[in-house]
Structure 1
Amino acid sequence: MSAGTFDAAWALAHDIPGWLTPDQARLLWDTALAASPAPVVLEIGSYQGRSTVVLGSAVAQTGGRVVAVDPFVDDWKYGSPLTQGRFEAHLQRAAVADRVELLKEYSTRARPTWNSPIDVLFIDGKHDVWTVLDDLKWATHVPDGAPVLIHDCFSSVGITLGVLTLLRPGARLRYRDRAGSLARFEVGSPGMAGRLRLLAEMPWWARNLGMKVLLRLRLNTIARRLGHDSPYDPY
C-alpha cells in the first residue's frame, strides 16, 4: 500500500534527488488530497520522482491518478538515459506506480492534443519564459476555483517573468499563497487584490536572484550573513 499520511509519504520521497522542500511537499500533498474525488493531477517535470511520489501517495487515498509529463531526454543538469529508470524505480519502491501514468513527451508538444479535464496542475518544467507561458495554457483544462501550482515561481527569471503576465487584464489565474518558492494559484479572475498579492512577492524574488548571484561569485559567506544558509540556489 502507498503512504497513508504525509509523514509516511515524505519518508518515502525525501531521499529521492530533487529540489522539493518538506513544506513544499506538504503543500502538494494537502492540495492533491483536497481535490475532488478520484482527481487527475497533471505534473509537468518529474525528474526522479520526488514530487511524483508525494502526489501519487496523496491521490491513492481518494482513488485518483497522476499524469507525469516528462520527455526524459539528455540534459546536463536534470536528465540522462538513466533518469527514467530511476524515476520508475522510485515509484515502485513507494508503491505508487499504479497511480502514475507517464506521458513521455515535452509539455509543449503534449498540450495541443490534450483534451481531458485536470483537477490539479503542477508546473515544474523548463524555466525559460516561453515554455512557462505555454505551460500556463494547460490551465484551460482546470475548472474554476481549482489549483495550479508552480515551482520555483519566485526564484527564477524565466518563470517569474512568465507569471507576471497574469497581471494583465483578462488573466484567468489568481495568486493565493506559497511555500518557499512553490506558489499556489487558482483558476479565476485575479482582481486587484490578487494582482497586488502577486506584486508583493517581487522584493522576495529580487532577494532570491541576489542570492544566486552571490553563490555564482562564490560569496557564500555573504549569502549566509544575509540569511541564505545553504550552498544551493533558493527554491
Structure 2
Amino acid sequence: MPGGTTIGFESAWESVRAVPGWLTEGQARMLWDAVCRLPAGATVVEIGSHQGRSTIVLGHAARTIGARVVAVDAFVDGRLFGGASTRARFEANIAAAGLTDVVELVVGFSTRLRPTWTRPFDLLYVDGKHDYWTYVDDLRWSAHLPSGGEILVHDCFSSIGVTSGTVAKVLCGSRYSYVDRSRSLARFTVRRPGLADRWRVVAQLPWFAGNVALKVLLRLRLRPVARLFGHRGSYDPF
C-alpha cells in the first residue's frame, strides 16, 4: 500500500486481520471513531503496540484527518512480548501498511518516559503492561490531554490489575469519567465524574467478574465448561 493513501475503516480492518493481536473489530471501530473526532493536526499516543494491529488502525484513521500517531513500546524480551523480534515485525507491519510517515515509534518503558514527556497530544490509547501500578501510572499520561480529551483502555474489564486501577482512579477518583466500552475496551474522558458516571463503572463489574471466572476455567483447562458459559477458543476474554 503506497504511502499517503487514505482508506476507510473496512479496508483498514481487513488489512490487520493477519497481524497478531487481541483487538476485535468492534474495538477497532471504537479506536477509529475516536481518532475521527479529533481536529486536523492532532496527535494520538498509543502505549503498548506489540506487532501493530491497533497501531495500523489508528494510523489509517489518523491519515484521514491529517493527524499523527506516537507508538510507545519497550518491546520487552520474553515469551509474551517477543523483544527485538517483535519490534522488527512491528516496523515491517507499519511499513507494509504505508504508514511510516504517520506513525512515530518511541521505544522505552512508558513509566520511565512519562516523567520527562513534554509533548501535548489529543487522544490516549492505553494497552501496556496490565498490572495495577503500571496502568495507574499510564493514566497519568493524560496530564498532556486537553480537558474533555478521551482515553481508551484495552482489557479494562478483563484484567484484574487494570480493573482494580479503574475502580481506584475512575470509580473512586475525581479526574476521569467513564463513557462506554466495546467488550474490554473502555472509553473515558478527562472530566470530573458525576454520580451517573460512577454508576456506569459499577454496572460493568459483573461482566468483569464473569471474565475472571472464565480465566480460572481456562487455567484449569476446563474449556468445555467455559464453552457452556459462551466462551469460545483458548484465549482469555478480551
2:27 pairs with 24, 29, 40, which one? Answer: 24
Would the aligned equivalents of 1:121 and 1:149 in 2 still touch at CA under 8 Å? yes
Q: Which residue of 2 aligns with 1:234?
A: 237
Secondary structure in 1 matching 2:225: helix
Following the alignment from structure 2 to structure 1, what is the Cα–Cα distance between the partners of residues 5 and 37? 18
Counterpart code for 1:167: L
1:51 aligns with 2:54: yes
Unaligned runs of 5+ in 1: none
Q: Deviations over 1:143-168 (max 9, x none)?
A: 11121000000000000011111222
1:167 aligns with 2:171: yes
Q: Deviations over 1:60-114 (max 9, x none)?
A: 0111110000011202212222111100010011111110111101000110111
1:213 pairs with 216, 220, 230, which one? Answer: 216
Counterpart code for 2:172: R
Q: Which residue of 1 aligns with 2:44?
A: 41
- Alignment map for 1:77-88 (pairs within 5 Å): 77-88=80-91
Following the alignment from structure 1 to structure 2, what is the Cα–Cα distance between the partners of residues 2 and 174? 35
Following the alignment from structure 2 to structure 1, what is the Cα–Cα distance between the partners of residues 35 and 112? 25
Q: Deviations over 1:153-185 (max 9, x none)?
A: 00000000111112225x211000001100011
1:184 aligns with 2:196: no
Following the alignment from structure 1 to structure 2, what is the Cα–Cα distance between the partners of residues 54 and 226? 31
How many Å apart are 1:3 and its aligned residue? Answer: 4.5
Q: Which residue of 2 aligns with 1:204?
A: 207
RMSD between superposed Cα atoms in Å = 1.0
How many Å apart are 1:34 and its aligned residue? Answer: 1.1
- Alignment map for 1:90-105 (pairs within 5 Å): 90-105=93-108
Secondary structure in 2 matching 1:98: coil
Q: Normalization by structure 2: what TM-score?
A: 0.96
Following the alignment from structure 1 to structure 2, what is the Cα–Cα distance between the partners of residues 207 and 219? 15
1:134 pairs with 137, 157, 160, which one? Answer: 137
Percent of aligned pairs with the same amino acid: 51
Unaligned runs of 5+ in 2: none
Secondary structure in 1 matching 2:130: coil
1:152 aligns with 2:158: no
1:222 pairs with 204, 210, 225, which one? Answer: 225
Following the alignment from structure 2 to structure 1, what is the Cα–Cα distance between the partners of residues 31 and 106? 20
Following the alignment from structure 1 to structure 2, what is the Cα–Cα distance between the partners of residues 67 and 75? 24
Would the aligned equivalents of 1:124 and 1:151 in 2 still touch at CA under 8 Å? yes
Counterpart code for 2:46: E
